[in-house]
Amino acid sequence: MKRLAVLLCCLIIFAGLPLPAAANVTPISVLTAVEETLYGQAGTGALIERIERIEHDVFGGVQPGAAMIRIDRVNTFLQSTEAQGGSMKLHLNLAEWGFTGVLTDGKPLIERLEKLEQEWYGQPQTGSIADRTRDMMLNIWGTTELDLKKVTLPAETLVRISLLQSVNSGTTKVGDKVPYRVVDDVMVDGRMVIPAGTEAVATVTEVSSAGPLGRDGRIVIDFGRVASLDGTFVELRVDQRATEKNKSLELAAGASMAGVMLLGPVGLVGGYFIKGKDVGIQERQPFYVETLRAVQVSGFILRPAAK
Structural domain includes residue 76: no
166 within domain boundaries: yes
In a domain, 251, yes or no: yes
pLDDT, tens only, 75-129 = 999 987 765 667 899 999 999 999 999 999 889 999 999 999 999 999 999 999 9
Does residue 143 lie within any of the structural domains?
no
Model-level pTM? 0.77
Structurally, the chain folds into a number of domains equal to 1
Q: What CATH number does the domain containing 296 carry?
A: 2.40.128
Residue 286 placed within a domain: yes
Determine, yes or no, domain membership for 246: yes
Closest CA to 226 of 102, 96, 91, 99: 102
Output the pLDDT for position 7. 27
Helix, coil or strand: residue 261: strand
Are the C-beta atoms of 134 and 150 separated by less than 8 Å?
no
Strand 191-194 to strand 186-188: parallel, antiparallel, or no bridges (unpaired)? antiparallel
- The CB-side HSE value for 162 (13 A sphere, CA atoms) comes to 14
Q: Which domain holds residue 208?
A: 151-303
Report the SS3 class of residue 287: strand
Q: Count the neighbouring beta carbons within 10 Å of the beta carbon of residue 90.
A: 28
> Which residues of the chain carry a pLDDT beneath 70?
1-24, 82-85, 213-214, 250-276, 305-307
The pLDDT score that the predictor gives to residue 306 is: 61
Amino acid (1-letter code) at residue 272:
Y
- 245 part of a folded domain: yes
What one-letter code names the amino acid at 151?
V
**What is the tens place of the pLDDT at every residue in 248-278?**
775 543 444 434 554 434 333 333 445 567 7
Task: Indicate the SS3 state at residue 103.
Answer: strand
Radius of gyration of the chain (CA): 22
User: Is residue 299 situated within a structural domain?
Assistant: yes
> Which pLDDT score, from 0 to 100, does residue 275 have?
56
